[in-house]
Structure 1
């Protein structure tokens, strides 16, 4: 089978929605080439260091690549992808150059070469994320290992928005907590919550690919008896009481959930939000406070913001 590589030149802000568009179009995974990666201090303690070629990266913004089978529907699929990405501007999302290129690639090369980019990464004091094909031995007795299969969808769980969310969960999860994960994606936050001590998690995503990815990844991590993955539109119709709600989605979507989140979170519970660009920080903070939350932390990693809000005790 022949495969076609679709490459979209866009912005950091658009990474999550563009990736989702590509997954919905049939891509089983995406590659993100961000020039900021050239300046990162890669630890040699976790995984193998590989040489990054600056010529593969844009001068500004990011390349998002996905792979689709070459068939009679490819042209129509690519046109739909282009239209969907262009439509993101209606949600006030900066899509940058939005330049799309198509090229064919050898199946054997595509099937294995991308794996070299995914190695175990320690993302917090206790949590390490590792792809399923890597052998990794914990370096401490209390280390938490999350295994993910990035080939399914939604990357390796090491995007700054995910890292910020996991670090917040590590600080605020209490043993026995009931957690709701809104926009579960790969399921990495649901898995992390359980391994940090939560008793159960309800994971919701509107995208059926995400629900499938969450289901598979929770089984990989042997927590399927404590995570329920369901297709749902944000928190609509949800009536469970939660100690923690975590939501790693766009700022514009977060503000659509705050009122329902406030009703569902028990007094003294937490609403962990991420996926917020700096320009939308005040929008989210104002909305959280208007709904009755107290914003107790604002954290930043690269261009991304995470906020932890607390529901008053009474």
Structure 2
């Protein structure tokens, strides 16, 4: 083993645990986490199996980070059924190729296309092309929660809107909003790596004059917005709504909430209703749900 070798950490989980595990591996892995859908194949496999491989990479000699990952996954295992991680050693070249092998041109919805930065692509008329450096932060388009948001954005965004992206990750949703005509987009994330990654991706896509990326959460809102998009775990969505996230949404404005596993949908719906937001749309991909809500208009006095 030489100093250029990398350690691949791989965890196979179901859809509900995949996002939670990716959050852990994003925190410690060099370049974030890869989330790969495992198609059910072979005898005895269930056609509706929702299995994911979540992977991250660290230098083989980084024993401290390996221990931190093991401890974090153990604690997470108290909430979700998570198997032991599998560790594999890769050379520097193998690591680089393995990283890129997980990504190719991805078409989502009617016209959104995500292109890895190292690939060339000739856009077709009407397509919204987003160039990303995948893996640096959660939200590169491969996970259903991100795809549901992108589909909902296609339906709900209008030119001239102001948009607030809470938990921006790679910046993909903020970039999509800007490229579909948003006048101003504010994107926030509590993770510093995500903030740096989002800023890089915003610059690569030529929308830095529209998208402003900042560290923090919903308290970084600047006034009220026509549209808020939030792609985080269901319990975090509920918590932010309880804290007053809906105050950052204009009356009559749209909120798109994703990252909701289906058995947590009722709780999110209740939190939206409590915040004065009526659910008017629902998008589903396997076990994941995205809800679209409208904030009630203020009633005129008298």
* TM-score, structure 1 normalization: 0.86
Runs of 4+ in structure 1 over 4 Å off:
none
SS in 1 for 2:219: coil
Structure 1 partner of 2:294: 310
Whether 1:273 aligns to 2:263 is no
Cα deviation code 1:124-167 (max 9, x no counterpart): 1111111111111123x211101111142326323111111011
SS in 2 for 1:270: strand
Distance change (3 Å), C-alpha of 1:77 and 1:166: same
Cα deviation code 1:220-264 (max 9, x no counterpart): 1000111111110x2135342111010000000001122422211
Cα deviation code 1:279-307 (max 9, x no counterpart): 10100001111121110012101110000
Structure 2 partner of 1:114: 99
Kept in 2: contact 1:276–1:306 (CA 8 A): yes
User: For the aligned residues, what is the CA RMSD?
Assistant: 2.2
Kept in 1: contact 2:117–2:133 (CA 8 A): yes
CA distance in 2, matches of 1:24, 1:299: 28
CA distance in 2, matches of 1:264, 1:161: 22
Structure 1 partner of 2:58: 68
1:1-314 matches, cutoff 5 A? 1-35=4-38, 37=39, 61-71=51-61, 74-88=62-76, 93-94=79-80, 96-139=81-124, 141-154=125-138, 156-232=140-216, 234-236=217-219, 238-259=221-242, 260-314=244-298
CA distance in 2, matches of 1:97, 1:164: 25
The farther-off stretch of 11-20 and 287-296 is: 11-20
CA distance in 2, matches of 1:206, 1:263: 20
SS in 1 for 2:266: helix
Kept in 2: contact 1:278–1:304 (CA 8 A): yes
Cα deviation code 1:9-31 (max 9, x no counterpart): 33321222322222221421333
* TM-score, structure 2 normalization: 0.89
Distance change (3 Å), C-alpha of 1:177 and 1:286: same
Q: How many residues align?
A: 290
CA distance in 2, matches of 1:199, 1:154: 25
Distance change (3 Å), C-alpha of 1:291 and 1:131: same
Kept in 1: contact 2:139–2:146 (CA 8 A): no
Kept in 2: contact 1:268–1:310 (CA 8 A): yes
The farther-off stretch of 108-117 and 220-229 is: 108-117
The farther-off stretch of 279-288 and 7-16 is: 7-16
SS in 2 for 1:224: coil
- What's the CA shift for 1:175? 1.1
**Structure 2 unaligned residues grouped into runs of 5+:** none
- What's the CA shift for 1:38? 5.0
**Structure 1 unaligned residues grouped into runs of 5+:** 40-51
